[in-house]
Chain A
Amino acid sequence: MSSADWTPAWLWLAVIASGLYHGVNPGMGWPLAVSAGLMERSPRALVAALGPLTAGHLLAMLLVLLPFALLVAIFEWQRTIQIGASVLVVAFGLFRLANRRHPRVLARISPAQLGLWSFAVALAHGAALMLVPIYLGLCRQAELDGGHVAAGTLINANLGMAMLVATVHAIAMVAAGGVCAWLAYRYLGLQFISQSWFNLDTTWALSLILVGAIALALNLS
């Protein structure tokens, strides 16, 4: 197989890896599921809390990916859009690196609105944005395989791809977060929350810059 054949596999791996990465990060919400389970004294409450956390994350992914699904169908702008998206991701990473303040508006969301909180936190931290270059790469790969097709077909294919990328990412996220929550709830105790929590702000910002920079390099080459 040529290296081009391997590209989609790597990109899908990136979708899953980023989902796992988001899932294990306590900042993306799994301790809230532990709290729900303990407050209600029921493992069902833990599982029930994972629902809105995942739904919120999934919605944030779709909100960011779908506009690109439409834009990238305009064939002559494709390269511009891909470069623009890469620059956007790098810029957001730099912004996160420079501005360490937490978006205070998130603290106004009630603990009962887990879905809204998860949605807002995924947007605010650029979790959704991180997927854009990977997604665009997958669209391009699919297109190379399919050759030239009508714009309408392309939009449908891109929308489908966006749904698929967001869903795969969210499944990886809830699986990782769910395992962490269950371990804390059932076996490791609440100490696990502070023990497993690392300040990833810098790593997170650098990840965004890295993903954006790789995408930019590939697009310019």
Chain B
Amino acid sequence: MNIRPDPTFHASPKLAMEAPPESFAYTVLLSPDASKPDALAVIDVKPGSSTYSQIVHTVTMPNKGDEFHHFGWNACSSALSPLTGHAFLERRYLIIPGMRSSRIYIVDTKPDPTKAAIHKIIEPEEIFRKTGYSRPHTVHCGPEGIYISTLGGSGKEGTDGPPGVFIMDCETFEVLGRWELDRGPQQLHYDFWWNLPRDYMVTSEWALPPQFENGIVPEDLLSNKYGHRIHFWDLRARRNVQTIDLGANHQMALEVRPAHDPVREYGFLGVVVDTTNLEGSIWTWWREGGKFHIEKTATIPPEPAAKEQLPPLLQGFGAVPPLVSDIDLSMDDKFLYVACWGTGEMRQYDVREPRRPKLAGSVHIGGIARRTPHPNGKAFAGGPQMVEISRDGKRVYWTNSLYSTWDDQFYPDGVPGAMVMANAKPDGGLELASNYWVNFPDGYRAHQIRLDGGDCSTDSFCYPSV
């Protein structure tokens, strides 16, 4: 416990933007064939540093086959609400779930990121026993401690009972139990986030473990059996208050990005693919008159491609779907970044009018058919995937792998880990930085990125920007 609040906690998104820029990025590394243990890479992102864009430290886990994907901090700016009673926590521990093993690692990043080390390991049995959930995924810190979403229910296949969210103590990291008291019609889970002062949570849907662990199931996709609904919850009452179906053809409603400024009661949702036309789409949800609404506000078309350019999975379609796998909203709520993992494009939308996103910038790199190289000449396998924006909105980082078995289906030639950075112009426009290229160790793929001091998909705020 500190005597003063952690200097990386900010009352409003505006104060977070004015804070010093990031010095280190944390990126999780995955061994896709589980031949090596997964790891956490600490990357120097200080411009001008002699080790700029290089891995300066690696925390290697003691187990194999965890499958790292998303992760998060033990504490963030949400601690500055007196309601939570956690004002003196430190932003210090990274909570890293193993999505395949259901094991969770707690990594201590103090006293120095280059000396980060494992603090605690929570074995899968504890999670199964205390929550009845499996396959932990998204991590957020909030009023009752650390919230972790899961993709599986109990049982070997994770199909006995629905997946959901569980709570972990933010000081002892003890698993406390399920979050939901009344889940309503919710049966699938993926991402979640919230508006803390307005007291609601939003959750999305991917699929059940048999539909993703051994690869995408084309029959299930074409019969619209992946998730296509969004759920709205009373956060403190832990109750589902509204579920909206996007239409069954909108398959895989994944990332949820509410406006950072809590006075704004809207947010965005990315949908991977429309099975009627292979489009990817962006949806805007908002609250009005006590009810939630959502509409499709942007679509991204598929790109035709010759059969020999396509993996077997896509050859019948003669086209590459954009596959909107991740989205991220800048801290000032002005720009939404959309990763098109299939076509190999990072799009930047101006969302100052949230229900009318305007394409403001775009960068091509990788892609199933395009295979655009990096400006430094190096090949970028896969496509833009997990994206993270610096707090000041000037730098956008991303990696290239989606999920072990899915990578192999869409990119059969392999997806060696890559992480790049693009500079964003204040009024829109995106350009890849030719001097930022992270070399990852052989045999590893790169997934989510976290920035020291918080970033645009971790911190939630209790006070508006003024």
CB closest chain-A residue, reference B11: A190
B93 / chain A contacts, CB cutoff of 8 Å = none
Q: Contact: A190 with B466, CB < 8 Å?
A: yes
CA A39 to CA B261, docked complex, whole Å? 10
Mask: chain A, 3-35; 1 = CB below 8 Å from B; 0 = not: 000000000000000000000001111011011
Given contacts A39-B197, A106-B85, A199-B88, contact A194 B12 (CB under 8 A): no
Residue A187 at the chain B interface, CB threshold 8 Å:
no
Q: Contact: A26 with B82, CB < 8 Å?
A: yes
Q: Report A198 CB to chain B, min CB distance, Å.
A: 6
Given contacts A35-B197, A35-B462, A108-B144, contact A190 B12 (CB under 8 A): yes
B237 / chain A contacts, CB cutoff of 8 Å = 110
B2 / chain A contacts, CB cutoff of 8 Å = 199
Q: Contact: B196 with A194, CB < 8 Å?
A: no
Q: Contact: A28 with B82, CB < 8 Å?
A: yes
- A28, A39, A101: residue with the most chain B Cβ atoms closer than 10 Å: A39
Given contacts A107-B84, A199-B2, contact A190 B15 (CB under 8 A): yes
Given contacts A38-B466, A199-B88, contact A106 B83 (CB under 8 A): yes
B82 / chain A contacts, CB cutoff of 8 Å = 26-29, 31-32, 121
Interface size class of A (residues with CB under 8 A): 20 to 34
A190 / chain B contacts, CB cutoff of 8 Å = 11-12, 15, 463, 466
CB closest chain-A residue, reference B198: A111
Mask: chain B, 188-199; 1 = CB below 8 Å from A; 0 = not: 000000001111
Residue A70 at the chain B interface, CB threshold 8 Å:
no
Q: Contact: B464 with A27, CB < 8 Å?
A: no
Q: Total interface residues on B, using CB and 8 Å?
A: 36
Mask: chain A, 97-117; 1 = CB below 8 Å from B; 0 = not: 000111110111111100001
CA A191 to CA B463, docked complex, whole Å? 11
Residue B1 at the chain A interface, CB threshold 8 Å:
yes
Contact of B15 among A101, A106, A121, A191 (CB under 8 A): A191
Residue B3 at the chain A interface, CB threshold 8 Å:
yes
CA A102 to CA B87, docked complex, whole Å? 11
Q: Contact: B85 with A111, CB < 8 Å?
A: no
Q: Contact: B85 with A103, CB < 8 Å?
A: yes
Q: Report A101 CB to chain B, min CB distance, Å.
A: 7
Q: Contact: B236 with A109, CB < 8 Å?
A: yes
CA A29 to CA B80, docked complex, whole Å? 11
Given contacts A108-B144, A109-B236, A110-B199, contact A197 B84 (CB under 8 A): no
Given contacts A38-B464, A111-B199, A199-B3, contact A27 B85 (CB under 8 A): yes
CA A211 to CA B455, docked complex, whole Å? 45
Q: Contact: B466 with A194, CB < 8 Å?
A: no
A102 / chain B contacts, CB cutoff of 8 Å = 85-86
A106 / chain B contacts, CB cutoff of 8 Å = 83, 85
Contact of B236 among A31, A110, A189 (CB under 8 A): A110
CA A26 to CA B236, docked complex, whole Å? 21
Q: Contact: A111 with B87, CB < 8 Å?
A: no
Residue A193 at the chain B interface, CB threshold 8 Å:
yes
Query: Which A residues from 71 to 127 make CB contacts under 8 A with B?
Result: 100-104, 106-112, 117, 121
Residue B262 at the chain A interface, CB threshold 8 Å:
yes
CA A34 to CA B262, docked complex, whole Å? 13
Q: Contact: A198 with B197, CB < 8 Å?
A: no
Residue A201 at the chain B interface, CB threshold 8 Å:
yes
Q: Report B422 CB to chain A, min CB distance, Å.
A: 30
CA A39 to CA B198, docked complex, whole Å? 10
CB closest chain-A residue, reference B196: A111
A-B residue pairs in contact (CB < 8 Å), sample of 26: A26-B87, A28-B82, A32-B82, A35-B81, A38-B463, A38-B466, A39-B263, A39-B464, A41-B263, A100-B1, A102-B85, A102-B86, A103-B85, A104-B144, A108-B236, A109-B236, A111-B196, A112-B199, A117-B83, A121-B82, A121-B85, A193-B80, A194-B4, A194-B11, A197-B87, A199-B3
Enumerate chain A interface residues (CB-CB to B < 8 A): 26-29, 31-32, 34-35, 38-39, 41, 100-104, 106-112, 117, 121, 189-191, 193-194, 197-199, 201
Besides the known contacts A34-B463, A191-B15, 11 further A-B residue pairs in the complex with CB atoms under 8 A apart: A27-B82, A35-B464, A39-B262, A104-B144, A107-B145, A111-B198, A111-B236, A112-B199, A190-B11, A190-B12, A199-B4
The 9 residue pairs across chains A and B that have the minimum distance between CB atoms = A190-B11, A102-B85, A107-B143, A110-B236, A194-B5, A199-B88, A107-B144, A38-B464, A199-B3
